[in-house]
Structure 1
Amino acid sequence: MGKRLLILTAGMGAGHDAVAAELARRMARRDVETSVVDVLDLLPLRLGHGMRRMYEEMVRSAPWLYEGIYQAFFVSRRPPPSSPLTELLANRLDARMRELPPDAVVSTFHIAAQATGRLRDSGRLIVPSVVLVTDFAVHRMWLHAGNDRYLCPDDRAARTVMERTGRPASGHAPVVRPEFRRRRVPGSVLRDAAGARPDDRIVLISAGAWGVGRVEETAQGLAASGRYVPVVLCGRNERLRERVYGPALGWRDDMPKLMAGAYALIDNAAGLTCREAFACGLPVISYRPIPGHGRDGAAAMESAGLSCYARTPGELIRALDRLKDEAARRVRARRAAALFDAVPAERVIGSVLG
């Protein structure tokens, strides 16, 4: 009988789901039966749907409110407080796992990590629980000493996790689709979509799956410089796409091809899109990041030498100008490529499964 793996995610944007799906694909190739569950869907009375909508609206319309919540609950060296929501989710997850008991559980979202840690600590979860951290800046809501092992963005984050939980932690290679790791050969897909000339430097501006952030102003500033052609990636936000003056794209499944034709990526979330760009060898500049984990993630990536964090319009243009130096681009690309030399997440999880 083959091993069964339960992967927990949450539809907060698209990044957590994409990591869970790619991990499931890789584990299936190892003959592991995988199930992917959105923990928000386990909550009764459409609570999960309400949480998703509330978070989206805060990030879109009231970032100051999310910043306040983040500072109050996410930023601290103390363990997270006990929460009725976490206990409710743990109970619902316990009932779900009794229906089809897994041989191990992997969490790719912090609320799921809290629930599995609580279940493991109380003895209700008797199989290993692994947390795959998807944020570059590891906040305390990821951390619960009940979990067995942590897979972190890099070794520096892993050391922090070990200090604060006492649990084994290590860096792992980013979990991105294999198409992003193939040799980056510039094509015409992005140039055609942007209506750009052969010598134009096209800069992708990512607004995430929900199309959030002040990306319209960013695009206007780049266009006004006369040096770069901005293309805004609006995700599923069609209203944003209609508002952007200049090239703008909706949800796309051909991101590897788009990135192959880009000069740089401007990002505001420090999430999966950055890892995909790293895999492609595309330089990343963080600018006007969303509050909380987006801002802290941008700072963490810059500290690791993976990207540049521009704080002003002038800094953004200067950061893009520096990328004209091919030697500087190669240095950045080597640092990003080194992330993929770490142990693959599926190998660690396979060893946990036995």
Structure 2
Amino acid sequence: MPGKVLLVTETIAGHGHLRAAEAIQQALQLVAPEVETKLVTTMPLVSSALEKTVRKLYMNTLKVAPKMWGWAYESERVTSVLFKEALARTVALKLEELVEAEKPDVVVCTHAFSLGAFAFMKRKKATFTLGAAITDFDLNGFWVHGGVDFYLVSNEQLKQKIIRRFDVEAYKIYVTGIPIDLKFAPLFRQRDRAAVRKRLGIDEQQPFLLITGGGSGYGPLEQVVQLLDALEDEFVLGVITGQNTELYLKLLDEKPRLRHPLRLYGYVDNMEDFMLAADLLISKPGGLSASEALASGLPLIIMQPIPGQEERNSRFLVQQRVALKAETMEEVADLVRHLLHRPGLLQMMREAAARAGKPYASLQAAGIILDYLALPVLETPMPSN
């Protein structure tokens, strides 16, 4: 059965899409090492200048006018119909050389940017099987194209939405969960929570509140620390600043003046330990980080979600009763106090998170991909919008 799987992603809006592709690659290498895998980011192949421009525009829009980004995202019902076919044709011209060189049997996209281009190639002459691994708890119209053979989605509600809105056949949509690193799966990680807390130097008797801003340390983490430190409750604060060295140094300077113990970390590669040790995660609701939290049975307090995709993620997580959303920064502290004073509610949220978590999503994705490696490629009709 040996074949070749091309995993396609982008890094223009954080590293979640990349981490999902890496998780699928990891699972494939584990269960089918004879299958060749290659991971590529395609926007630099299309235009390195475009990639730099899009990344800069995205970050600046989030900083200066986040509501504008939200408006653009929520307009996707119109923009996807108007622009996705033209975008697909343009990008396909740039990626035909990649397909010719790699000759993949299966292509799996964890970002929507080039998915349409591969779908366009499929509808014309390409013979690979094409899959889309959606990395949020909802989706926009740029994810759905004629020529896509299968979709990997996070939840049953999303599957039903794709069926209703786009008229995609149910058999093409698999509810796997968002692919995450197998380090978060019980069979592959340290399961002794007390031992992990001891190794991290966290008092077993006090709640551990974990504050993160993704790999870039994005968000008002310093303000959150100040608001939580004003609470009279006893707890340990943990802040992961990622690659944000400026924030790390600021918090390091503040640390001696805080009344609560602060564990400060820069970039870490053992997030599974921190999520296992924590009692509560205070974070933005990115699809990957939220999925890692659910796999760890870790409840969330959501702060400042990015308008658009993270707002939709927030609605799903709150609906699943695994998260509370703070409408203001001051409310972050109010919600923390609320949960600390109601341990029964916090435990219910922990149990709900564990039920909602899909720690083996990447293995399920790998199994589906391997099934398609053994199948002939079928003609795929264009879904309606």
Q: TM over 0.5, yes or no?
A: yes
Q: How does 1:1-354 map to 2 (within 5 A)?
A: 2-11=2-11, 12-28=13-29, 29-30=31-32, 31-72=34-75, 74=76, 79=81, 81-82=83-84, 85-121=87-123, 123-167=124-168, 168-182=172-186, 184-187=191-194, 197-227=203-233, 228-244=235-251, 245-246=254-255, 247=262, 248-312=264-328, 313=331, 314-323=334-343, 325=345, 327-337=347-357, 340=360, 344-354=364-374
* AA partner of residue 193 (structure 2): P
Deviations 1:306-333 (A, max 9, x none): 4333334134532454445575145324
Rg (Cα) greater in structure:
2
* AA partner of residue 71 (structure 1): E
The 3-state SS of whatever aligns with 2:184 is helix
* Conserved? CA contact 1:87–1:115, under 8 Å: yes
Compute the TM-score of the two structures, normalised by the length of structure 1.
0.88
Moved more, 247-256 or 98-107: 247-256
* Conserved? CA contact 1:77–1:164, under 8 Å: no
1-side partners of 2:3 and 2:166: how far apart?
28
CA 1:256–1:91: 2 relative to 1, 3 Å: same
RMSD over aligned CA atoms reads 2.7
CA 1:112–1:134: 2 relative to 1, 3 Å: same
CA 1:307–1:317: 2 relative to 1, 3 Å: same
Shift in Å, 1:352: 1.1
CA 1:343–1:32: 2 relative to 1, 3 Å: closer
Shift in Å, 1:273: 1.4
The 3-state SS of whatever aligns with 1:110 is coil
CA 1:264–1:89: 2 relative to 1, 3 Å: same
The 3-state SS of whatever aligns with 2:192 is coil
* AA partner of residue 184 (structure 1): R
CA 1:305–1:207: 2 relative to 1, 3 Å: same
Structure with more relative contact order (C-alpha pairs < 8 Å, separation 6 or more)? 2
CA 1:81–1:44: 2 relative to 1, 3 Å: closer
* Conserved? CA contact 2:23–2:362, under 8 Å: no
Shift in Å, 1:250: 1.4
* Conserved? CA contact 1:307–1:332, under 8 Å: no
CA 1:86–1:55: 2 relative to 1, 3 Å: farther
The 3-state SS of whatever aligns with 2:282 is strand
* Conserved? CA contact 2:87–2:116, under 8 Å: no
CA 1:324–1:192: 2 relative to 1, 3 Å: farther
The 3-state SS of whatever aligns with 2:8 is strand
1-side partners of 2:343 and 2:126: how far apart?
50
Deviations 1:75-121 (A, max 9, x none): 55963524655433222222111112110110000112222223223
Unaligned runs of 5+ in 1: none
Moved over 4 A (4+): 75-78, 187-193, 195-198, 323-327, 338-343
The 3-state SS of whatever aligns with 2:298 is coil
Moved more, 306-315 or 31-40: 306-315
1-side partners of 2:160 and 2:229: how far apart?
42
The 3-state SS of whatever aligns with 1:344 is helix
The 3-state SS of whatever aligns with 1:170 is strand
Shift in Å, 1:297: 0.8
Shift in Å, 1:216: 2.2
Identity level (%) = 25
Compute the TM-score of the two structures, normalised by the length of structure 2.
0.82
2-side partners of 1:78 and 1:94: how far apart?
22
* Conserved? CA contact 2:17–2:135, under 8 Å: yes
